Structure 1
Amino acid sequence: MKRYWEAFRRLLFPEICLACQDALTDGERTICTVCRYELPRTGSAETGNPLVAGKFEGRVRVGSAHAFLRFRKGGRVQRLLHQLKYNGRQEVGEVLGRLFGAELRKAGFSEQIDLIIPVPLHESRLRQRGYNQSECIARGLAEVLQSPWSGEILRKEHATDTQTHKSRMERFRNTDALFRVSEGEQIAGRRIALVDDVVTTGSTLEACAQALLDSGCREVHVWALATAM
């Protein structure tokens, strides 16, 4: 009977794919099968580190840097990230985190990290949004990679203006010295995967990675859900 009423509810109020807006079929959740297959993957976990040279090389020492998806204006990835960041759909981050985690696990990265740390939000933004979208991604990654994660170790000290229309230098000045490690003993000598939703210039991730390295971690790997390429 419960299954019958669930099917009836879905007929009257169909759930939609948050990427393409088409109705989901039985067994589909959040993102339809077609969109999962057609997500614009970068393939960076298998083909190398395309983010390192352009984003971090010569600026901060990272063990590797990977982005799962290509971000295009008006595309599936933008729609999904909008749902994650602004419409309260935390499950989007977890679903995409699991898909990303499967790719990283296949490439052997689950054996190269000890702890996953999401890029933090300042407490004022956290209160406004109610959650940290990077933590949602970290949860999905941790589930698949069977690695611990923590949103308590890295802190953002001050609120900053939006980064959207700033140059790279302005973005770095806006993030320099903003991040603090509150529990250095938990990362000492450990290999950290630093997780964010989108990487553009890389200034925020750069500042976070430097704070972690300065606090004694052995190595930082950057894992971004998407990149503007």
Structure 2
Amino acid sequence: MHQEQHICTKCHHNLPFTDFHKYPKNPVIDTFYGRVAIKNATALFHYKKNGMVQQLLHQLKYKGRQEVGDILGKLLGQQLQNEASYSSVDFIIPVPLHKKRFRKRGYNQVTTFGLQLANHLNAIYLEDILIKVNNTKTQAFKKRAARWLTTQHSFEITDTEKLANTHILLVDDVITTGATLEACANALKKIPNITISVATMSIAS
């Protein structure tokens, strides 16, 4: 389907783009400061409650509109493909769903987003190498400390040799406290000589 069937031209111009990829120091990087080493980090949009971005992500996450992720991946991919700091990315890895939640929903809402980023960055999309081993409840209304306690041991790597000496781009839909991405990064940090960057569809403001 054509992009304008989902995001009209007027709405596109009104979307709250962050342009964080232009700035080495930005709120996404700051989220992880002192917690886990991240090379680059960006978010496509600012996320506000009841805003346009929340509506888009609701369609993607709960209504099966995976084409929304495809569109957002194209938008961010076009921004990042000429950025030198992202040119060395080898693999795109999504924040995974637990297998029970995946079966219930039928898809990971980050998949089409990640595939488009991989296409634009000439990277490889890997969906089954980072897995979620604990089926935690939704994190949406938890504060940072509670999220950290819930997620810190939730993720494992299935093939450490494949990721050794590579640059990984972790992708997710929304970053709030950063606890989930931090837990994923800490699992990945066990791999020798790995570099980690982060890209999300949005960041809560």
Measured against the shorter chain, the TM-score band is over 0.9
- Whether 2:161 is the aligned partner of 1:221: answer no
* Segment of structure 1 superposing worse, 106-115 or 151-160: 106-115
Q: Which gives a bigger RCO, structure 1 or 2 (Cα 8 Å, sep 6+)? A: 2
- 1:198 is displaced (CA, Å) by 0.2
- Per the alignment, in what secondary structure is the counterpart of residue 28 of structure 1? helix
How far has the Cα of 1:219 moved from its partner?
0.4
Query: 2: distance between equivalents of 1:138 and 1:160?
Result: 23
Distance 1:217 1:36 in 2: 39
TM-score with structure 1 length normalisation?
A: 0.85
Q: Say whether 1:40 aligns with 2:40.
A: no
CA distance in 1: counterparts of 2:203 and 2:193, whole angstroms? 25
Partner Cα distance (2:145, 2:88) in 1: 31
> How far off is 1:104 after superposition?
1.1
Q: Is the 8 A contact 1:110 1:147 kept in 2?
A: no
What is the Cα deviation at residue 37 of structure 1? 2.4
Match of 2:69 among 89, 93, 107: 93
Aligned partner of 2:115 in structure 1 is 139
- Provide the TM-score with structure 2 as the length reference: 0.94
Question: Which structure has the greater CA radius of gyration?
Answer: 1
Q: Secondary structure at the match of 1:158?
A: coil
For residues 58-100 of structure 1, the C-alpha deviation after alignment (integer angstroms, 9 at most, x for no partner) is 0111111111100011111001000000000001001101101
Aligned equivalents of 1:104 and 1:127: distance in 2?
A: 32
Unpaired segments ≥5 residues, structure 1: 1-14, 16-25
Q: Secondary structure at the match of 1:223?
A: strand
Does residue 126 of the first structure (1) align with residue 112 of the second (2)? no
Which amino acid letter does the alignment assign opposite residue 195 of structure 2? E
1:80 counterpart (56, 68, 73): 56
Measure the CA separation in 1 of the matches of 2:182 and 2:3. Answer: 40
Q: What is the aligned-residue identity percentage? A: 42
Decide which moves more: 44-53 or 68-77.
44-53
Report how many aligned residue pairs link the two structures.
205
1:52 Cα offset (Å): 4.6
Residue 27 of structure 1: how far off its partner (Å): 7.7
